Amino acid sequence: MTERIEVIQGDITRQTVDAIVNAANTTLLGGGGVDGAIHAAAGPELLAACRTLEGCATGEAKITRGYRLSAPWVIHTVGPIWRGGGHDEDVLLARCYQNCFLLAVRHEITTIAFPAISTGVYRFPLERAAIIAVKETRRFLESRLAMRKVVFVCFNGATLDGYRKVLAERPQGKAS
C-alpha cells in the first residue's frame, strides 16, 4: 500500500494528478500560501466558482474544476488553526483528509496531491500534522483500491524531511 503513497518536494500547482488539494480558509475566496498559488495558477474562474460555494467550515471540503491548472479538479479544504492542541485540532485536521477522500471517491478521482495542510500560516506542528495525514491516508487506501496514488507535495526541505520521517515509521499495530 505504501507504494501508492509518494512524498516529493515541489509546487502542488504543477502536479499532473486528477485533483490537487487546496489548504484554504473558511471564505474560500483565496489567500496566501498554497491557496494563493493555486488561485494564481488556476486563473480567475476558480475564484468565480468558489464564490458560488458560500464558504467552507473547518474540517470540511468542497470541490471545483481546476481551470488553467493541469489538474482537472481542486478540492478545497479548511484546516484548523493551531491553538495549542486543546481545541480539537487533531480531529479537525483528520476530518480534512477524510472529507477530501470522500469527494475523491464521489468524483472517481484516482490520483490526488495534498499540501501539508495547516502547517504554514495556521501553525500546526509539522510532524504532528504529517502523522495525521499519513494515518488517514493509509486507513483510506486500505479499503479503497481504486485510489492509485496519493502524493504529499512538500514546498520546502523541512516539510519533506518531516513527511519522510513519518512515512518511514511502521503503521501502528501492524505486524513487522
Q: Binding residue for ligand APR (CB under 6 A) from 118, 137, 151, 166?
A: 118
Nearer of residues 63 and 77 to ligand APR, judged by Cβ = 77
Q: Which of 35, 88, 90, 161 is catalytic?
A: 35
Give CA–CA dist 160/87, Å, rounded.
27
Nearer of residues 83 and 145 to ligand APR, judged by Cβ = 83
Q: Per CB under 6 A, does 89 bind ligand APR?
A: no
Q: Per CB under 6 A, does 121 bind ligand APR?
A: yes
Is 35 catalytic? The answer is: yes
Phi, psi of 62 (to 5 degrees): -135, 155
Q: Per CB under 6 A, does 11 bind ligand APR?
A: yes
Minimum Å gap between C-beta 163 and ligand APR is 10
Taking phi over 0 as left and psi of -120 to 50 as alpha, with beta for the rest, 156 belongs to: beta
Taking phi over 0 as left and psi of -120 to 50 as alpha, with beta for the rest, 46 belongs to: alpha
- In the DSSP assignment, the letter for residue 82 is P
| 152 close to 133: Cβ distance less than 8 angstroms | yes
Nearer of residues 69 and 117 to ligand APR, judged by Cβ = 117
C-alpha cell of residue 42: 488556476
Size of residue set near ligand APR by CB under 6 A: 26
Q: Per CB under 6 A, does 71 bind ligand APR?
A: no
What residues act catalytically?
35
